[in-house]
Amino acid sequence: MVIRKRKTDEDLPMELLLLADPSEEIVKEYVSRGECYVAESEGKIVGVYVLLPTRPETVELVNVAVAEGLHGKGIGKQLVMNAVKVAREKGYKTIEVGTGNSGIGQLALYQKCGFRIVGVDLDFFIRHYPEEIFENGIQCRDMIRLSQQL
């Protein structure tokens, strides 16, 4: 598997991107402002993430996703570790990520990759998404913010 920057003439892996965020509008906006990276295995795109510059020296990791049949094989961890490496190489000092309060696996993954919880944006998902979101039997209401110094 190789992780590489998406080529400018390459179609967006929208099906994958929508696994991480149900809004196509928000996904397209992120991709237009950030840099999209893909994991490719045997000619197929199996994973994706986007690095979004936010403030001076800070970048946000958004839209981390792995193809549904391939979860639990370590691809997500490789994507997140790659994003941290790329951000460091580009000279950023801080990488941030946010995930829903109901994302138990995501919270485990990011902490295993060196992120620490730094805040909670209460009711973020209630304010920004028209549909209720449920995961692991928990309503997704709050955005848990995590960060890592590079």
Ligand X SMILES: CC(C)(COP(=O)(O)OP(=O)(O)OC[C@H]1O[C@@H](n2cnc3c(N)ncnc32)[C@H](O)[C@@H]1OP(=O)(O)O)[C@@H](O)C(=O)NCCC(=O)NCCS
Q: Is 117 in the site for ligand X (CB under 6 A)?
A: no
Q: Is 66 in the site for ligand X (CB under 6 A)?
A: yes
Q: Is 75 in the site for ligand X (CB under 6 A)?
A: yes
Give 92 or 106: the residue with its C-beta nearer to ligand X: 106
CB 41 to ligand X: min, Å: 12
How far apart are the C-alpha atoms of 7 and 5, rounded to whole Å? Answer: 6
Is the backbone of residue 63 left (phi > 0), alpha (psi -120 to 50) or beta? Answer: left
Q: Is 76 in the site for ligand X (CB under 6 A)?
A: yes
Residues in Cβ contact with 25 at an 8 Å cutoff, skipping those fewer than 6 apart: none
CB 105 to ligand X: min, Å: 3
Q: From the CB of residue 111, how many other CB atoms can be counted at a distance below 10 Å?
A: 13
CB 79 to ligand X: min, Å: 7
Give 9 or 68: the residue with its C-beta nearer to ligand X: 68
Q: Is 77 in the site for ligand X (CB under 6 A)?
A: yes
Question: In what side-by-side order are the strands of the sheet with 2-5?
Answer: 2-5, 35-41, 44-53, 58-66, 94-100, 143-149, 116-121
CB 91 to ligand X: min, Å: 25
